[in-house]
């Protein structure tokens, strides 16, 4: 029997399969190959895996876009997620929106109770500026 791999030969020698029947040698070779693949996978670097579920309607939408892109589903999803992560902008904070709503509410209350036009214009102007800043964050 000719064995080209010194690592395989060493494994067969250590397990005692070299003196066995051809079936035992073949079994030991298969076991060596299985262990070799397992070790190789461990050494080639760890990858993180993300799993999530989607509804049937969401899946249909994804499939339409995948067919249009001529990519495989996993590759398309990976590309979309990574590109979205790399180009992400500041997200609009809930407090910012509540602040704008509060300014508008104050302006509305002043209109109803006092009719102080100058104060209403200031509040609405401030609210408009904050909405424009939020719009820039979204774009």
Taking only the tens place, the pLDDT of each residue in 115-128 is 677 777 788 888 88
Residue 48 belongs to some domain of the structure: no
pLDDT, position 31: 94
Q: Is 123 exposed, middle or buried (0-12, 13-18, 19+ CB in 10 A)?
A: buried
Calpha distance 29→8 (Å, rounded): 7
> pTM higher than 0.85 for the full model?
no
Which structure tokens are listed for 4? 């080209």
Range of the domain at 76: 56-86
12 domain residue, yes or no: yes
pLDDT band at 103 (very low <50, low <70, confident <90, very high): confident
Indicate whether 108 and 129 sit together in one domain: yes
- Does residue 113 form part of some domain? yes
In terms of pLDDT, which residue wins out, 80 or 112?
Answer: 80
Whether residue 115 is contained in a domain is answered as yes
**Overall domain count for the chain:** 3
């Amino acid at each position: 029997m000719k064995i080209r791999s010194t690592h395989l030969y060493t494994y067969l020698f250590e397990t005692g399969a070299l003196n066995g029947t051809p079936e035992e040698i073949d079994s030991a070779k298969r076991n060596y190959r299985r262990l070799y693949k397992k070790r190789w996978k461990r050494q080639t670097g760890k990858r993180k895996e993300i799993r999530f579920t989607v509804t049937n309607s969401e899946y249909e939408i994804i499939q339409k876009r995948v067919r249009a892109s001529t990519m495989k589903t996993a590759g398309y999803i990976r590309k979309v997620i990574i590109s979205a992560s790399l180009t992400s902008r500041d997200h609009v904070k809930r407090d910012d929106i509540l602040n704008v709503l509060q300014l508008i509410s104050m302006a509305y209350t002043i209109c109803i109770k006092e009719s102080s036009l100058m104060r209403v214009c200031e509040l609405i102007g401030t609210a408009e500026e904050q909405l424009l800043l939020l719009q820039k964050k979204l774009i």
